[in-house]
Amino acid sequence: MFAKCTYIRGTLEQLARKQTPRKQKHISQSGEMVENTLLATPDDWLKLVQPIADTIRDGERYVFFDGRVFPANHGPIKFDGLYRSHDLPDLPHLSESLMEETLANPDYWDVS
């Protein structure tokens, strides 16, 4: 996912109240629709967003990748994400071949 940082009116606290609770729906292994609450309160949302807000700059583009936010710039990337460790020559979002090898490849994400 890409995002462009832009100034909005109001405070992070006001935005947090609008953004929570945050829910996610997905289909379980058994085929049932499951709904999880990811961020239940404004404080939960702020705890997650404040570190991001402190590092992004107005007008810049960013990539969201496995629980982290990176400037959308070419170059090697190495980090431990939510789902696995990554050591790649570039952000997959910026390379069609890496996109196929990583983001769109279930084998890449299977770390069992």
Higher pLDDT, 73 or 32: 73
The stretch 7-31 carries a mean pLDDT of 82
Query: Tell me: the pLDDT tens digits for 80-111?
Result: 988 899 999 999 999 888 989 888 888 988 87
The 10 Å Cβ neighbour count of residue 95 is: 15
Local confidence band at 29 (pLDDT 50, 70, 90 cut-offs): confident
The answer to which of 16-20, 23-27, 86-90, 99-103 has the lowest mean pLDDT is 23-27
Smallest Cα–Cα separation from 42: which of 56, 64, 21?
A: 21
Q: Which residue in 49, 56, 74, 63 sits closest to 103, CA to CA?
A: 63
Q: pTM, whole model, 2 decimals? A: 0.68
Please give the Cα distance from 18 to 12 (Å, whole number). Answer: 10
- pLDDT of 4 > 80? The answer is yes
